[in-house]
Structure 1
Amino acid sequence: MARDPDTIQREIDQARDALAATLDQLGTKASPKRMVDNAKSSARSKLDEPKVKYALIGVGVLVGLLVIRGIFR
Structure 2
Amino acid sequence: MARDPDTIQREIEQARDALAATLDQLGTKASPKRLVDNAKAEARSKLDEPKVKYALIGVGVLVGLLVVRRIFS
Fold conserved (TM > 0.5)? yes
Shift of 1:28: 0.7
Task: Name the residue aligned to 2:57.
Answer: 57
Ranges in structure 1 where 5+ consecutive residues have no aligned partner: none
Deviations 1:5-57, CA, capped at 9 Å, x for gaps: 11110000000000000111111111111100000000000000001000000
Partners of 1:3 and 1:66 in 2: how far apart? 81
Shift of 1:4: 1.1
State the number of aligned residues. 73
Point out 4+ residue stretches in structure 1 off by more than 2 angstroms.
none
TM-score using structure 1 length: 0.97
Ranges in structure 2 where 5+ consecutive residues have no aligned partner: none
Partners of 1:4 and 1:70 in 2: how far apart? 85
TM-score using structure 2 length: 0.97
Task: Name the residue aligned to 1:37.
Answer: 37
